[in-house]
Structure 1
Amino acid sequence: MKDDRRASIRLFFALWPQEHIRSALVQARAGGVDGARPTHPQDLHMTLVFIGDVDPDLLPCIETAGDDVALAAFELTLERVETWPRQRLLAAAPHDPPPALFNLVSQLQQNLLPCGIQPEPRRYRPHVTLARKAARKDPAPVAIPWPVQDFVLARSGAAGPGNGGGYQVLRSWQLD
């Protein structure tokens, strides 16, 4: 019997760092990954909205959610590397995220409602996961300026063998 169900795809909107920011993030995690599982450099990103597993037929609606964002480019600075003990993550995070970041997240969440995608109930906590299964580490200051000029829609688990990362950028949008 033929299975007509289509495989779901796992999607999320994110900020995808330029190469110089990616290099700074890799350097910032140095010394903090003993026994941990470092995030592949090509997978470093800041999730804006996790969408999750969806039917591929929803992709046009989800892309429209990105199309409808109206926001100017802004500056974000990652100011600390810290361990989140509960999740066992080593993360780079801003101390005082700019309001524009929260505005971008809010617009995407609202624009996804017509697609039947509800916002996560948890408070948004901006960060870049540098490593998983990390041991507790004292917070360390960093200064990684990130000029945010665009955002992307990415797919989890899409990279093939030898491609390095486990994510595939499907589409990007420039901020005004």
Structure 2
Amino acid sequence: MEEKTPMESSDRLFVAVPAPPSVISSAESWVLRLKDQIVFAKWVHPQDLHLTLQFLGDVARNRIDRIAQAVEQAAVGAAPFSLHFQGLGVFGKPSAPSVLWAGVQGEVEKLGQLQRQIEDMMTTLGFVAENRPYKPHLTLARKFTGPAGSQAAMLDIALPDEWQTPWRVKETALYRSRLGSRPMYERVASFPLG
């Protein structure tokens, strides 16, 4: 009879670019003002803001070191680049969006190259690449619960000035999810670019 591995021996992992400190520090006060205008069931904790490069899912902990080595190798092959956030968007039905996000501008092609390098490295470790184009975004909230018709105005709300200021992406990170915790994501390791 095959022995089952206990659930505690795996982590839900993803690779991402952390949001810059200027965005994290201003997110809480901006969201507090926004909550009066836009009603979502769950807002992302400021410390959890990030640009996902690849979601890995539940992974055995004994694989984390090898994953970290692969992410580090991909990061070393990418030079730092500049990004800024611009505009709000939604995923899901326009009448009841599932996700509210901030758009990414700047050297987005370099972000895409980093994402493909990560994805290529993860493929060599047996992870499956997404079968849809990469659409970088900063998830802000999930599950719209406001009154019908109120969601249309949300896309006209301006982002804070500091979010629109270009910032240098100098690292990527491997994160684990801690479901039920706030903040929910814990950085396992960071990897400088270049």
**Equivalent of 1:19 in 18, 21, 38:** 21
> Which stretch shows the higher mean deviation, 55-64 or 31-40?
31-40
- 4+ residue runs of structure 1 moved beyond 6 angstroms? none
| 1:31 maps onto 2:34 in alignment | yes
Q: Conserved in 2, the CA contact under 8 Å of 1:89 and 1:129? A: yes
Q: Conserved in 1, the CA contact under 8 Å of 2:11 and 2:176? A: yes
- Report the equivalent of 1:104: 114
Distance 1:28 1:104, change over 3 A: farther
Distance 1:28 1:92, change over 3 A: farther
Mapping of 1:1-176 within 5 angstroms? 4-7=4-7, 8-26=10-28, 29=31, 30-31=33-34, 34-36=38-40, 37-69=42-74, 70-86=77-93, 87-95=97-105, 98-134=108-144, 135=146, 136=151, 137-142=154-159, 143-157=164-178, 164-176=182-194
TM value normalised by structure 2: 0.78
- Percent of counterpart pairs with the same letter? 28
TM value normalised by structure 1: 0.85
Distance of 2:86 and 2:140 partners within structure 1: 14
Which structure has more helix as a fraction of its residues? 2
Secondary structure of 1:113 counterpart:
helix
- Please list every run of 5 or more consecutive structure 1 residues that lacks an aligned counterpart in the other structure: none
Report the number of matched residues. Answer: 173
> Which stretch shows the higher mean deviation, 135-144 or 118-127?
135-144
Specify the structure having the higher radius of gyration (Cα): 2
